[in-house]
Structure formats: structure tokens, C-alpha cells
Structure 1
Amino acid sequence: MTDAPLLDPAETARVREGIAASVLGAPEGLAASLERDADGYLRLVDASRVGAEEAGRLLREAVQGARAAGHSWDAVGKVLGVSRQAAQQRFADKGAEPSVPAAGAPGGPERRILGGLSAFNEMAALEEAGREGWHSVGYGPYFHEVEASGQPWEHCRITLPSAARHRRMEAEGWIPVGAGWFPWRYYKRAVRPGD
């Protein structure tokens, strides 16, 4: 891996502009209020705080994703401009080892963990489990929790969908699984006979 930035200057500028536009544009009327209302600047501080918290969360999930994709702490540290040790100390998820989530309700459907997963093999594992009647009910770094059912399921993973795409997928029978895991959103739907 090279020490050169992975994003070119134009890409970096677009990311920065997108974040600034989101912070200014998400709160209703914020940008316009800055021309006439001193309290608008406090709203800007609050919107920037939320943006910074979200950026931090996205960075943590992106690092966990890079690790799940097989990248070393050294490679992650180089991208972040810090040492391997600093990257690991800051971003190592103490709970990243696949742990078994809480079992389903007593007497409820059987659940199991598909472990050792990465961005490169999780969809194949979910496809196989779905054919056998299992569907995802939760996930985290390196695992999906699946639940038994009496029918086959299909799963899909897409990059952060727009609200319109999310509504369209739900209209097509796709059910969101969890709240998303940056940069992915997971969906499932039961396979109808004859599909």
C-alpha cells in the first residue's frame, strides 16, 4: 500500500462539501436564519455537533469494515495518518469478536450465528442460509444472526439507500434488517412459491 492519499483532491473536496451541505441543509431554514438570527448560529453549532458525531460513527464503522475485509491495522493506520498501534487503540472494537447475541424468546423460532463473515462472503452465506429457510434478524462485525422459518428467504445488501429507494424496496416486499451498518443497509424478503 502506498502512503499517498486514496482520494484525489477533487474527491476530498466533494466529501467536505457534501458534509457541509448536509449540516446546513438538514435543519429546516438553518442557512437562511444565519442572515438574520443570532440563535441560528447556536443551531449551526448543534447541527455541526450532530454531523461530527455521525462522521465519527461512520469512521468507526468504516474501519471495522476495512478490518472485516482483511486489511491490517498497519494499512488502516496509514490511511488515517497514524501508527498501527494508534489506529488499533482508537478503533479496536472490544466486542468485535463474534459473540452470540441473546437467544430468541423461549419457545420461539430457533436462532443461530453465521460467524467468520466479511463483506466478501456474507451475502453468499446469507443466500445459502435463506435457501434453507433461515433469515437474518441481526448482525455485527463478522456475524449475522439468523432465525429459522418454514420458507426460503432472499437477502440483499445495498449502499445507504435514499428515502425514496428505501420506500420502493419496502413496497416490493423487502424488510429492512437492523438500522444499517455503514456503508450497507440489509434487507430480506420471503421467497414466494414459483419465484
Structure 2
Amino acid sequence: MNDRPLLEPVETDRIREGVAAAVLGAPEGLAESLEHDPHGYLRLVDASRVGAEEAGRLLREAVQGARAAGHSWDAVGRVLGVSRQAAQQRFTDKTAGGASPSAPSSGGPDAPERRIIDGLSAFNEMAALEEAGRDGWHMVGYGPFFHEVEASGRPWEHCRITLPSAARHRRMESEGWVPVGAGWFPWRYYKRPVGTGG
């Protein structure tokens, strides 16, 4: 990888403008209130805090996605402008300890069986879910490099799309797709039993 930035300046400007527009535009009447209401500035601070937290979450998930796609900590560090060690220390999932997760207890004796499919990447996860779905397993959770699936008595299909618009999300649900979790940037995952499609 060369030292040339991966984004063009116009792309960087577009991202910055989009984030600023989201922070100012999401809270109802925030931009207008800044002309006459001192309290509006506290709302601006709160909206900016939410934007910064979300940007931090997206960055963590993007780094995990890059790692899942096979990129080294050295490559990630170069993009971030930090050392390999600094990138690894900041973005290694402390809860998982970098290891594959273990299957959680299934609840009670009548609870469906659950298992973890690990060793996944952005390039092989959908094939793994397709195979699991054919065998009657459906996704119930996920994280870096793994999916958690639950047994059922019928086959399932799974899909992954980049963050959908509200209209596309509603269309997916009208076609019988059920969202799984809140998404893993930049993806949103859906599932449905085979044969229920629209």
C-alpha cells in the first residue's frame, strides 16, 4: 500500500459536510434555534456528542471489517496514521480477547440449540449462512469473525445489504425479511424462512 490517501479531498469534504448536516438536521428545529435560543447550543453539544459516539462506533466496526477482510494491523495503522501496535491496542475487542466466541448457554432444556460459526470474513460469511440456512439454522447474533445461529425445523435464507434507507428497510420487511440485530457497519443482516418471500 502506498502513502497516498485512499479518499480524494472532495470525498473527505463530502463526508465532513454530511456528518455536520446530520448533527444539525436530526434534532427538530436545532439549526433554527441557534439564532435565538441559548439552550439550542446545549442541544448542539448533545447532538455532536451523539455524532461523535456514532462515528467512533462506525470506525471500530470498519476496522473489524477490514481485519475480517484480511488486512493486517500494519495496513490498518497506516490508514489511521498510527503504528500497528497503537491500532491493535485501540481496536482489539477486549471482551472477546481476540479469540473466537463460545456458544452461550441455550437457556432452558426446551430452548433451541445454538452454535457459533467462526473464522468468518466479509467474503465467506454469506456462503456459511447459506449452508447453515439450508440445514435449518438461522442467524440470531454476530460480531467480528463470527455468527451465532439457532436450530429450527425449517430452512432459512439470509441476506446482507449495505445500510438501507428507511424505505428499503420497510420494503424488506414487507417481503418477509426480519432484521437481525442493529447491523454491523456497513452491513445490515436479514433472515426469513424459505418460501415466505414476496
Q: What do you get for the CA RMSD once the two structures are aligned?
A: 1.5
1:47-66 alignment runs, 5 A limit: 47-66=47-66
**Paired residues of 2:74 and 2:83 also in contact (CA < 8 A):** yes
What is the total number of aligned residue pairs between the two structures? 195
One-letter amino acid of the counterpart of residue 77, structure 1: G
Per the normalisation by structure 1, the TM-score is 0.96
**Match of residue 15 from structure 2:** 15
1:68-107 alignment runs, 5 A limit: 68-94=68-94, 95=96, 96-106=98-108, 107=110
**Paired residues of 2:103 and 2:115 also in contact (CA < 8 A):** no
Pair 1:158 & 2:161 matched:
yes
1:27-38 alignment runs, 5 A limit: 27-38=27-38
C-alpha distance in 1, partners of 2:6/2:24?
27
> How far is 1:167 from its partner?
1.2
**Match of residue 114 from structure 1:** 117
Deviations 1:23-65 (A, max 9, x none): 0000000011111111111111110011001101110111111
C-alpha distance in 2, partners of 1:158/1:115?
20
> How far is 1:11 from its partner?
0.6
Per the normalisation by structure 2, the TM-score is 0.95
C-alpha distance in 1, partners of 2:169/2:197?
25
C-alpha distance in 2, partners of 1:134/1:37?
54
3-state SS of the aligned residue for 2:188? strand
C-alpha distance in 1, partners of 2:44/2:197?
54
One-letter amino acid of the counterpart of residue 90, structure 2: R
One-letter amino acid of the counterpart of residue 22, structure 2: S
Structure 1: unaligned runs, 5 residues or longer:
none
**Paired residues of 1:33 and 1:40 also in contact (CA < 8 A):** yes
Deviates more, 1:94-103 or 1:37-46: 94-103
**Match of residue 181 from structure 2:** 178
Pair 1:5 & 2:5 matched:
yes
Q: Cα gap change, 1:18/1:159 in structure 2, threshold over 3 Å: closer, same or farther?
A: same
